[in-house]
Chains A and B, each alone.
Chain A
Amino acid sequence: MESIVLLLGAFQTIFSDPFSLLFILIGVTAGIMVGCLPGLTATMGCALLIPFTFSMPPIQGLLMLMGIFTGGIYGGSISGILIRTPGTPAAAATLIDGYPLSQQGEAGKAIGIATIASFVGGAIGALIMALLAPQIAQFGLRFGPPEFFALAIFGLTMIISISGESLLKGVIAALFGLLITTIGFDPLSGVPRFTFGSENLLGGVTFIPALIGLFGFAQVFRNIEKMEIVPQVKSKVGKILPSFKEVKSLLPTMFKSGGMGAMTGSVPGLGADVAAFVAYGEAKRTSKQPEKFGKGALEGVAAPESANNGATGGAMIPMLTLGVPGDAVTAVLLGALTIHGFQPGPLLFRDHLDIVYPIFAGMILCQVVLLFVGLGGARLFAKLINIDIKVLTPVIFLLCIVGSYSMRFSFFDVWLAMGIGVLAYFMGQAKFPVSPILLALILGPMAEQNMRRSLMLSQDDPSIFFTRPISAIFLILAVLMAITSYRKFKKLRAIEQQIAEDIAESSSAESQK
């Protein structure tokens, strides 16, 4: 009950300041733009726009970033439907039925349903977040250093086990990221580590340059490399608003997928893309006409879109309450909170309710704004896909450079970000996943400091991690989840491969026509 009062109060705070609403609007619009352009992901959008939030009051900055997150995940569906290229990885499931609809001349309807589904799913996710997060934070207040260490290990295990095509390469990437976090002053002993006498490294590898390197520069390099291979496809839209009857018949699917998405998203490591595939599979399994899936079933668009936006709210839960991000984008949001001086975790819910509830309220508002901007501007966003990448790429390149500079006004950071970008680019070439590095950057300090604090408490006795029940449970869960999720991950891969083959088949059949 108390939380509802606080939530209403937060709505009042946001509505009393027109700028907050404006920043949500800007965020959602920018997010959709970034999301619908292939080659620019939601993660990249957040990374590039964080610098713009530095000088804003924290709440407004966060509202804008959440808007980008929400809009970015949704925006991916537009290009998925129109040109069979997911604008953001989370939309990969949407195009299975979205593109056939587009071929049948129903692109507008598909986008309209995707928009409504995103709204429904996102709103469910945000509500679940607002109701569940305070309880989890309450529970988290009981955690001491051993529990947080175990939690960090749990988070890392999850992330490694589902990222990329090879488990071993994921482990290597995570270890590499963890090693990067040991650069700089050791907070417990004050010893500078691996700085090689450079003053710039005393504070460690700063988050923003690393982020822009991993998700900005690396992607720009890939775009430049593939520039001539990827043909530009022209897109057409048509009528946007689906009929009320159609929407009504899809509502159960949307509600169910949104809830499933929020639950999937709240498990650290399982992000919006996994949620979308899970919901698509479920919708197909329970559908009365499963044979229509893949040929333009409206449920096939509604389910994954509702789920991936539901997952945005879900993914915020572990990030806010325990400081463990659910996926790469929430890791970016976590970084943004830290930059604004708020350390996510159970204490945030005790000390900074003035931040927490506006986040919940803002997340809900983002969905409403998304609905209107999405339905109203779909035609414009669809035109964006036709933007010349030869013009767009240099501009993004520029934003990466300026963005990495603007955190500390430092050219060292620009070189660092470019260096990390080159490394991440080659990692991608050798099929090493990059996301584990980002999550290791956040979970690394959490793991190290809590581990050593625990060992100080126990006077060097490592059994402290197994004798405290919550910590022991997390460590056991980490092992169990690693095993089961690895199996599930393999299955998911098989499904994705199947889909890829189907698409390849259908396009080769098309070209023979």
Chain B
Amino acid sequence: MDSKRIDIGIGIILCLLSVAIYLYAEQYAGRGVNSYGPNFFPQALSFMLFLAAVGLIIQALRGKALKNLEAMNKPGLLRTAVTLLIATAYVLLMNVLGFYLATGLFLFVVMTYLGQKKLWIRVLVSVLVATAVYSLFHYFLKIPLPEGIFYTPV
């Protein structure tokens, strides 16, 4: 996709979004103490956003869109998406496996996926970092972390 089409696409989405926000904010009208109630700011902003989005579309149509948009790097994008999926699985698994185990696993899997070859580095870093972060948050900062099903209260 060239930058012109991206800009036009974004412009159209923003136009629709701003109209939707404007209409949705209408329900807050008349609930403040004076005529500039809770609806005023969002509606004023969405109006300006609409104008700016129209401006973006016009700019793109006139061919003034910036030429040097980075070309989409497909393998890179895919790698990002997969890592994000692994992270999603990690956050979900944390409630089952507990923070410590899930974290170690997450680090190991992502390092493997990103191509860290040496097994001992992967194992060592996973264990060390998981231990360090867990100790720091659990003992020092006293932030409650999900303990998971393997947790046995002492």
Are A193 and B56 in contact, with the CB atoms below 8 A? no
| Chain B, Cβ-Cβ closest to A388 | B116
Are A182 and B42 in contact, with the CB atoms below 8 A? yes
Q: Could you tell me the dominant secondary structure of chain A's interface residues?
A: helix
Distance in Å: Cβ of B26 to nearest Cβ of chain A: 12
Distance in Å: Cβ of B25 to nearest Cβ of chain A: 7
Asked whether A194 is an interface residue with its Cβ less than 8 Å from the other chain, the reply is yes
Chain B residues within 8 Å of A229, by CB: 73, 76
Chain A residues within 8 Å of B119, by CB: none
With A225-B73, A390-B116 as known contacts, state yes or no: A179 contacts B45, CB within 8 Å.
Answer: yes
Distance in Å: Cβ of A440 to nearest Cβ of chain B: 10
Chain B residues within 8 Å of A390, by CB: 111, 114-116
The contact string, 1 if C-beta is below 8 Å from chain B, for chain A 38-65, is 0000000000000110110000000000
Chain B residues within 8 Å of A418, by CB: 84, 87-88
Which among A175, A179, A402, A452 is the interface contact of B40 at CB below 8 angstroms? A452
Are B41 and A398 in contact, with the CB atoms below 8 A? no
Are A189 and B41 in contact, with the CB atoms below 8 A? no
Q: In the bound complex, how far is the Cα of B141 from the Cα of A482, in angstroms?
A: 44
Q: In the bound complex, how far is the Cα of B46 from the Cα of A175, in angstroms?
A: 8
Chain B residues within 8 Å of A429, by CB: 69-70, 72
The contact string, 1 if C-beta is below 8 Å from chain B, for chain A 167-210, is 01101100110110010001011010110000000000000000
Interface size of B by CB at 8 A reads 64
Asked whether A116 is an interface residue with its Cβ less than 8 Å from the other chain, the reply is no
Are A398 and B66 in contact, with the CB atoms below 8 A? no
Asked whether A165 is an interface residue with its Cβ less than 8 Å from the other chain, the reply is yes
Distance in Å: Cβ of A403 to nearest Cβ of chain B: 10
Stretch of A97-105, A453-461, A466-474 with 4 or more beta carbons under 8 angstroms from chain B: A453-461
Which among B38, B80, B107, B141 is the interface contact of A52 at CB below 8 angstroms? B141
Within 8 A of B (CB), among A210-248: 221, 224-229
Q: In the bound complex, how far is the Cα of B103 from the Cα of A452, in angstroms?
A: 47
Interface size class of A (residues with CB under 8 A): 35 or more
Are A401 and B114 in contact, with the CB atoms below 8 A? no
Distance in Å: Cβ of B127 to nearest Cβ of chain A: 13
With A178-B45, A188-B32, A189-B32 as known contacts, state yes or no: A391 contacts B125, CB within 8 Å.
Answer: yes
Are A430 and B6 in contact, with the CB atoms below 8 A? yes
Chain B residues within 8 Å of A409, by CB: 143-144
Are B36 and A451 in contact, with the CB atoms below 8 A? yes
Q: In the bound complex, how far is the Cα of B27 from the Cα of A43, in angstroms?
A: 38
Chain B residues within 8 Å of A176, by CB: 49
| Chain A, Cβ-Cβ closest to B32 | A189
Chain A residues within 8 Å of B6, by CB: 430
Which among A179, A406, A411 is the interface contact of B42 at CB below 8 angstroms? A179
| Chain B, Cβ-Cβ closest to A223 | B80
Asked whether A393 is an interface residue with its Cβ less than 8 Å from the other chain, the reply is yes
The contact string, 1 if C-beta is below 8 Å from chain B, for chain A 414-435, is 1100100010010001110000
Are A193 and B38 in contact, with the CB atoms below 8 A? yes
Asked whether B33 is an interface residue with its Cβ less than 8 Å from the other chain, the reply is yes
Q: In the bound complex, how far is the Cα of B44 from the Cα of A496, in angstroms?
A: 36
Chain B residues within 8 Å of A178, by CB: 41, 45
Are A401 and B141 in contact, with the CB atoms below 8 A? no
Q: In the bound complex, how far is the Cα of B133 from the Cα of A227, in angstroms?
A: 25
Distance in Å: Cβ of A328 to nearest Cβ of chain B: 21
Q: In the bound complex, how far is the Cα of B55 from the Cα of A229, in angstroms?
A: 35
Which among B49, B75, B136 is the interface contact of A179 at CB below 8 angstroms? B49
Chain A residues within 8 Å of B55, by CB: 168
With A189-B31, A397-B87 as known contacts, state yes or no: A452 contacts B36, CB within 8 Å.
Answer: yes
Q: In the bound complex, how far is the Cα of B72 from the Cα of A176, in angstroms?
A: 24
With A388-B116, A391-B121, A452-B40 as known contacts, state yes or no: A169 contacts B45, CB within 8 Å.
Answer: no
Chain B residues within 8 Å of A406, by CB: 137, 141, 143
Question: 25 pairs across A/B with beta carbons < 8 Å?
Answer: A168-B59, A182-B42, A188-B33, A189-B38, A191-B32, A221-B83, A224-B80, A224-B83, A224-B114, A226-B76, A390-B111, A390-B115, A390-B116, A391-B111, A394-B114, A398-B106, A402-B137, A414-B91, A418-B84, A429-B70, A430-B7, A451-B36, A455-B34, A456-B34, A460-B34
Extra inter-chain contacts (13) besides given A398-B107, A430-B69, CB under 8 Å: A224-B114, A225-B79, A227-B79, A388-B121, A394-B110, A409-B144, A415-B91, A418-B88, A430-B6, A430-B7, A430-B10, A451-B36, A460-B36
**Which residues of chain A have a CB within 8 Å of any CB of chain B?**
51-52, 54-55, 165-166, 168-169, 171-172, 175-176, 178-179, 182, 186, 188-189, 191, 193-194, 221, 224-229, 388, 390-391, 393-395, 397-399, 401-402, 406, 409, 411, 414-415, 418, 422, 425, 429-431, 448, 451-452, 455-456, 459-460
